[in-house]
Amino acid sequence: MKRFFLLGLVLLAVGTVHAAKRPNVVIIYADDMGFGDLGANNPDSKIPTPNLDKLASEGMRFIDGHSSSGICTPSRFALLTGQHHWRRFHNIVGAMGSSVFEPDDFTLAKMFKTKGYNTACIGKWHLGWDWNALKRAEAAKWSKKRPSRPEDFDWSQPIPDGPLAQGFDYYFGDGTINFPPYCWIENDGVVEAPTAMLNTKTFRKIPEGKWEFRGGPMVEGWDPYQVLPTLTDKAVAWLEKQSADQPFFLYFPLPAPHAPIIPNDEYLGKSQAGAYGDFVYESDAMAGRILEVLETKGFAENTIVVFTTDNGSEHYAYARLKNVGHWSSGHLRGLKRDVWEGGHRVPFVVRWPGKIRPGAVSDETISQVDLAATFASVIGHTLTSSEAVDSYNLLPLLQGHEYKQPLRKATVQNTFKRAFALRQGDWMFIDAKSGKHSKCPDWFNTERGYGKDETAGLLYNLKDDPAQRKNLYAAYPEKVSEMKKLLDRYKGGEGCAPHAN
């Protein structure tokens, strides 16, 4: 018996050593930050991003990296599951909306847990909860006739179907900064029950744009300016509690620089791009705090850090360009919601000391869905044909392998149901008459040389025309036909990833 006991201790020790060798993973996920807002991407940027630029200099910067959608919830779902959002839905989760997940969905957090990782999500969730489980019976008749009120809910009850149901051991956040309930949520319960209704008149003056808050329950004295720094405090505190004995996965989705544009006082005037630029600068500072604690705790050398964002910048970017000369999409066309490149080509940086050559820049077309297969390869998880069906393994690319042909057979881009796009090599096919969804002012089209297209779809060679000015749809009918057939196959259910077929 003693022999078996000693053998068990040895095996446990070996398992602990192997677990310790697995890299930690931290994903810092900004909100509504454009490709050209990151200084490393845009030499003409009027926004300093020193911490993220340093991260880029220490890892690999992708200049052709994409989110799955041009809006929030779908991109987050795709990143966490490795499957494109349009296989399930297109729109965001509304105020106090239900979960977009199904019980058996694969997620990054679930995968990491199977390999012994400690997992946490700290920040903006925006993927839904089962708020109806807390709703009092007498409130049901009001659910579609008025905004929810504090008295409609039993706030003492746990909230099902949140981050804990998707593999996270710990959650802290406000859910979604401009959606109710306006309170802190820790794990599966509210920290303090809301007792008031939203009243933006109680907030400090907003320096740019509008509050854009949806009505609903709020904690008395709620201060949206404290959301970003508080989330960062919590993330830093969680990281400080980690040890080298157990690998960890932190998903840190920032609520910024998404509207409301509310930089704190110490960051005002730090950019040359107005309050939005200052808010980006504050977001960079919060990312810097995460990177700093990784260093001070001795985790940095064994931690993969990913920085990216859910979609392009909000429509306020047009006025910003006119007023201060900063274009959030850099050399690209389009903004948040658009199928144009600026809607979904986003900042994308990966650092892994000793594995990724510092200062590397890749023009390989990649997608955030690819993180699932990449991390699966890193930690030794074999994906089934039904898991992460759109995810390609980027590990060889990160380690310096150069591909003679594009790594991805194709990449699908989509925001709303009416318009899909397919990227294949240098070619971008848009199966719609326009890639626009966000309203674009006439002066912008005139200034940038964009005319009106008359074709049923659009085709661009992005190598020659990254700003998508020259529509080649009529000139290359065979290319259009070929790409449309592949797009239809994907939309019909075929997985994009090799392991899914």
DSSP alpha helix (H) spans, 176-329: 227-240, 274-296, 317-324
Q: What's the token pair of residue 202? A: 């109680």
Q: Is 85 among the domain residues? A: yes
Of 383, 407, 431, which marks where a domain is finished? Answer: 407
In-domain check, residue 7: no
Same domain, residue pair 155 and 90: yes
Q: Do 43 and 106 reside in the same domain of the chain? A: yes
Q: Which residues of 406-427 are buried (b: 16+ CB within 10 A; e: fewer)?
A: bbbebbbbbbbeebbbbbbeeb
Among residues 9, 76, 65, the alpha carbon closest in space to that of 349 is found at 65
For 59, other C-beta atoms within 10 Å of its C-beta total 24
8 Å CB contact between 311 and 344: yes
Q: Do both 126 and 219 map to the same domain?
A: yes
Query: Contact at 8 Å (CB) between 278 and 148?
Result: no
Please give the residue range of the domain that contains residue 150. 24-407
Task: Look at residues 380, 407, 434 and tell me which one is the last residue of a structural domain.
Answer: 407
Q: Which helix (H) or strand (E) holds 44?
A: none
CA distances from 458 to 55, 419, 422, 479, 489 (A): 36, 11, 11, 11, 19
Cβ partners under 8 Å of residue 198, min gap 6: 180, 182, 213, 214, 215, 216, 217, 218
Both tokens of 169, joined, read: 């051991």
Domain C-terminal end among 374, 407, 440: 407
- CATH number (domain holding residue 490): 3.30.1120.10
In a domain, 126, yes or no: yes
Q: Can you give the CATH number for the domain in which 196 is found? A: 3.40.720.10
Q: Is 85 left (phi over 0), alpha (psi -120 to 50) or beta?
A: alpha
β-pair partners for 276: none
Note whether residue 1 is domain-resident: no
Contact 41, 63 (CB under 8 A): yes
- For residues 75 and 343, is the Cβ–Cβ distance under 8 A? no
Q: Are residues 338 and 461 in the same domain?
A: no
Q: How far apart are the first and last CA of the chain?
A: 48
* Gap between the Cα atoms of 491 and 501, Å rounded: 14
Question: Hey, what are 144's tokens?
Answer: 């579609």
Distance CA 233, CA 406 (A): 41
Q: What is the pLDDT of residue 14?
A: 38
User: Hey, which residues does 429 pair with through a beta bridge?
Assistant: 422, 459
Closest CA to 439 of 259, 307, 316: 316
Q: Is residue 9 in a domain?
A: no
Same domain (yes/no): 290, 392: yes
Residue 355: strand pairing partners: none
Q: List the chain residues with pLDDT less than 50.
A: 1-20
pLDDT single digits (tens) 204-249: 999 999 999 999 999 999 999 999 999 999 999 999 999 999 999 9
What is the radius of gyration, based on Cα positions, of the chain? Answer: 23
DSSP string over 385-424: TTSSTT----HHHHTT---SS-SSS-EEEESSTT-EEEEE
Instruction: Give how many domains the chain has, as a whole number.
Output: 2
Shared-domain flag, residues 397 and 419: no
Q: Are residues 111 and 242 in the same domain?
A: yes
Which tokens go with 279? Answer: 């808010």
Regarding whether 213 and 191 lie in a shared domain, the answer is yes
In SS3 terms, 432-498 reads as: CCCCCCCCCCHHHHHHHCCCCCCCCCEEEECCCCCCCCCCCCCCCHHHHHHHHHHHHHHHCCCCCCH
> 142 and 116 in one domain?
yes
Q: Does a structural domain hold residue 6?
A: no
Separation of alpha carbons 323 and 67, rounded Å:
28
Has residue 4 been placed in a domain?
no
- The length of the chain is 501
Does residue 361 sit within a domain?
Answer: yes
Does residue 374 sit in the same domain as residue 438?
no
- Same domain as 453, residue 391: no
- Both 121 and 244 in a single domain? yes
The kind and range of the H/E element at 19 are helix 2-21
